[in-house]
Structure 1
């Protein structure tokens, strides 16, 4: 029996304070060598347990073993020079010091596969694993080799496909590609971004998802959001083509965002991870607030295709707040689940 309205998170969860500095993005590790390897596994185990206790149905690694959702993957590739850094504008919002592409990019060995195998041993629940999407990867680099965003994106799509196939073999149930860049570079998304994503999922039998959001609750993102006006219609530009794509699930930001909920009609037929938890505030939602967001979404998403989720990752939040939010998500989903089952007359 498949769970109705299965809950999950968009990706990152806070790391324990003994592993990395709390409430900080891209925080350096506090352990090293063998201790770091064991520490990451302990954090993984803990994160899975906390998600399960909170009532999350589809669990994730909480990104406990990676510092950053994009660069940790890139660090493992050849053709990238991390010593030779350049400052680039990320998603047209903020400057960051990033590595340089100095030659052909390739993947010498699996990046997250051991972590995925370890996670699989710890739980019987469905596991979702996040990878950076090709367009967001090229937006987090300085390219001194291909000199073409599109060419580099296709190379990354091939590499991501290799990793995704091995994650699937390790027992991952859903592979999610994080593409916040999809809310910025609309023409590129429609011209080649979605096609690149389809290259990344080629041949996969497990479910696939794309997570498109307005970013973590960091100042650069919240300032940018203030400039977007009363309605955030960015999704409108890319949803028609995504609706036609081979991606199974689309994950987006709904609660406390200014996204008009009726935009969901544009992806009717797809499964939708509806962000019902705001990650840009320490205020913990009530189960009723979560339920209200889900009820609105149900006007445009069939009940068997709605997956309650968080807006984005929660790495910058405290563990206490993140846990409270996970519990609220599970409780809110349960309210709506009960309502749906009552209507169904079961």
Structure 2
């Protein structure tokens, strides 16, 4: 046996987002289920063929999904909440997509961040019902790959302990009962794969890279001891990623045949542990040396040096060379990019290029570095030329960050005093109503923007069109009766891309899409240089919108941490320093908005939580600079300027104090899918600022009822003072249709009025 190349997972969207288009066509009723399944099969096979042709020895199967792999696992095990009306047997696509997106009568399952990435997964709900295997999805895809392409694939499953930890609906005392149901299902799937003749089975356990306890690690050992007894012929391979494993010695002692470790994001600690404790000679060692989460080309010379170091502790016969994690987090191919600067393009590597890097490293280990002299020289030159770009060496920006300690990062007046001034300035009713920022980006909006980008219409024509859209939606907000307006963001493609295009230090791609959630694909901008403010970015639209109404109009910005976390970031500076560069640039925009008469400014930080390190002992350091960056952006406004922010799906309970430390006057948080669970955080933490707990889920294609929104408002009022409670949807309304948006907001206003009337009646008694 010799060193082999392996991948952990590969993008499933297709080079031109064929996957997204097939899903959305099916959801719109334009294509049949049969057509959907045929298109997605073609995509699935093409991505396998591409990995085969690139020289990958061990190709994963089962990593393809119609929506989300965690949801796939829940459905495969029949873990379907009762509210969806499923009574056993094969799970229809209608049920599957209802769990993901909701339907006319039933809310969707909760959605939250996948570890510290910008991908969202559907949270499985365990209700204690009897579970059963509904279909063996990895087996189906293994057979397909073998029969159609002659590929002896490596079936991939989300590991049992990670699946358990990502699920909800149980308490600690219920874990034994949950596992008692879950493990036989895993055994059944694995035994069927074994009977098919599968050699290697990959079980993803990224949870091992988080701060789990030693007792939890013992549970993991018991789980795999049981699975190993059932699987005596196939080989089990545990894959970890996103960081170093928490319990190295215990992890490498697990009763499995191989362990995959991240030697990019977990390099320092994994390497230190390897050198201190070695690695079992009877196990395969998966070395994740190619960055699966970022888009920069590898310096192959440095990677070979790392592999030489690893081989001091691991025999080449047991070595797998692979990416650090699934490549679903990077775009498909750099070949689609025709407009990038040549120096930057040469320094990039997307999924297709990364699997070539893996195969190239394997060739070097097998045949010696002389076998890849040309590739080595190219990679080193590309990295060096990128480093020498003037945009990466702006002394004014670098000096400003060095002096960050002298920059104001705290508003001079405490919130309690600001609140009084703002109440007098805005004179809002109890439970003020607003939206998060964006309104529907209709096909007409997108088509007009495309014409403008192609030069088919003038700048003036495009600007007039955007102003017409703003006016239309200001009129709609007036008619509905909202208390605080937004301009709708019709000029923006994406909440990060729009600002990045107007700042120095960013570069943009044409087709470098990745999945955020469901069929929602984003095209993250690339931070390649030093970030600097150029000119006002949002003032024109905000001032025009404010001129159309006497109601307060929020200026809308994306915060510095989200600008960082939703971009592909240069890897030669610390994340903290890059964030401070962005914060200083945004500060100038906020000051420009205020000077133009905009006195409500929303600085969204939906990605603040997702940047939280997987290790709890690293949380405080991250939160300190992340919160400081937000405050640097917002600290210089007047007391009567109200700062808002917004955050997306995630578990806020563990760092509600840091949210308070942002010192935003009003925060809105997505909570509708979690059925108001976040409100429990306020039972133990006294939050004194304005807060909007989203009262309906904008990601579901349904109009929520007045009654369910009243219930969510009342639940929030159980733990929050009515004077601090704002009413808003969960998130921006960009992806929704006009009719459902208007209907939903009308119901939101009616629900708010009902609660106001109830409060008035109570106070009068």
8 Å contact from structure 1 (residues 85, 100) kept in 2: no
Task: Flag the structure with more relative contact order, 1 or 2, with Cα contacts below 8 A and sequence separation at least 6.
Answer: 1
Separation in 2, partners of 1:20, 1:343 = 48
97-106 or 242-251, which deviates more? 97-106
Is residue 755 of structure 2 the alignment partner of residue 336 of structure 1? yes
What is the CA-CA distance between 1:20 and the residue it aligns to?
2.0
Partner of 1:263: 681
Within a 5 Å distance, the mapping from 1:157-236 to structure 2 comes to 157-186=583-612, 187=619, 189-205=622-638, 206-214=641-649, 234-236=651-653
Q: CA deviation at 1:335?
A: 0.6
Give the direction of change, closer, same or farther, for the CA distance of 1:96–1:331 in structure 2 (3 Å limit).
Answer: closer
How far the C-alpha of 1:98 sits from its partner, in A, is: 3.2
Q: Deviations over 1:118-169 (max 9, x none)?
A: 1111111011222111111012223337522111111111111111111122
After TM superposition, the structure 1 stretch with the greater mean CA deviation from structure 2, 110-119 or 188-197, is 188-197
Query: Displacement of 1:5 after TM fit?
Result: 0.8
Quote how far apart the aligned CAs of 1:173 are: 2.9
What's the CA shift for 1:84?
Answer: 9.4
Note the alpha carbon deviations across 1:238-277, whole angstroms, 9 max, x for none. 2112224421112101223255121234352111012002
Give the match for residue 68 of structure 1.
Answer: 494
Question: Match of 1:130?
Answer: 556
**In the alignment, is the contact (CA less than 8 A) between 1:277 and 1:310 conserved in 2?**
yes
Higher helix proportion: 2
Assess if the C-alpha contact under 8 Å between 1:90 and 1:140 holds in 2.
Answer: no
Partner Cα separation in structure 2 for residue 252 and residue 333 of structure 1: 17
Query: How far apart in 2 are the matches of 1:273 and 1:51?
Result: 18
Residue 720 of structure 2 corresponds to residue 280 of structure 1: no
Give the Cα–Cα distance (whole angstroms) in 1 for the partners of residues 465 and 644 of structure 2: 29
Contact 2:675 2:712 in 1 (8 A): no
- Cα gap change, 1:142/1:89 in structure 2, threshold over 3 Å: closer, same or farther? farther
Counterpart selection for 2:736 from 305, 317, 334:
317
SS at match of 2:732: coil
TM-score by length of 1: 0.85
| Structure 1 vs Structure 2 CA RMSD | 2.5
Q: Secondary structure at the match of 1:184?
A: helix
1:296: which partner in 2?
Answer: 715
Task: Please report how far the alpha carbon of residue 64 of structure 1 lies from its aligned counterpart in structure 2 after TM superposition.
Answer: 1.5
Instruction: Report deviation, 1:289.
Output: 1.7
1:53 corresponding residue in structure 2: 479
- Partner residue in 2 for 1:143: 569
Q: Provide the aligned length of Structure 1 versus Structure 2.
A: 322
Larger Rg: 2
**Partners in 2 of 1:128 and 1:189 — Cα distance?**
29
- The reply to whether residue 327 of structure 1 matches residue 746 of structure 2 is yes
In structure 2, distance between residues paired with 1:122 and 1:273: 25
Measured after TM superposition, the shift of residue 172 of structure 1 is: 2.1
Contact 1:71 1:140 in 2 (8 A): no
1:152-196, Cα deviation, whole Å (9 max, x unpaired): 111111111111111122222321122121232232652311111
Change (3 A) 1:35 1:175: same
The answer to whether 1:9 aligns with 2:435 is: yes
Tell me if the contact between 1:79 and 1:105 (Cα under 8 Å) persists in the aligned partners. Answer: yes
CA shift for structure 1 position 69: 1.1
Question: Cα distance 1:155–1:138, how it changes in 2: closer, same or farther (>3 A)?
Answer: same
Unaligned runs of 5+ in 2: 1-426, 613-618
Q: Aligned residue for 1:220?
A: none
Within 5 Å, give how 1:238-257 maps onto structure 2. Answer: 238-257=655-674
Cα distance in 2 for partners of 1:12, 1:169 equals: 23
Match of 2:446 in 1: 20
CA deviation string 1:23-68 (max 9, x = no partner): xxxx954553221111001011111111221121100011122111
Contact kept? 1:268, 1:300, Cα under 8 Å: no
SS at match of 2:556: strand
1:18 is paired with a residue whose SS is: helix
Change in CA separation of 1:90 and 1:316 when aligned onto 2, cut-off 3 Å: closer
Distance 1:238 1:154 in 2: 21
Provide the rounded CA distance (Å) in 1 between the counterparts of 2:648 and 2:758. Answer: 28
TM-score scaled to structure 2, two decimals? 0.40
Tell me whether 104-113 or 163-172 shows the greater mean CA deviation.
Answer: 163-172
- The structure carrying a bigger strand percent of its residues is 1
Distance 1:154 1:336 in 2: 42
Distance 1:297 1:164, change over 3 A: same
Q: Is the 8 A contact 1:176 1:208 kept in 2?
A: yes
Query: Is the contact between residue 16 and residue 43 of structure 1 (CA under 8 Å) also seen in structure 2?
Result: no
Check 1:258–1:292 CA distance in 2 against 1; reply closer, same or farther (3 A cut): closer
Task: Say whether the 8 Å CA contact 1:120–1:170 is kept in structure 2.
Answer: no
Q: Do the aligned partners of residues 155 and 89 (structure 1) sit closer, same or farther apart at CA in structure 2, a change above 3 Å counting?
A: farther
Counterpart CA distance in 1 for 2:752 and 2:602 is 21
Q: Give the Cα separation in 1 of the matches to 2:739 and 2:436.
A: 18
CA 1:131–1:3: 2 relative to 1, 3 Å? same
CA contact (8 A) 2:542 2:554 kept: no
> Partners in 1 of 2:571 and 2:559 — Cα distance?
20
Q: 5+ unaligned residues in a row in structure 1: which ranges? A: 22-26, 215-231
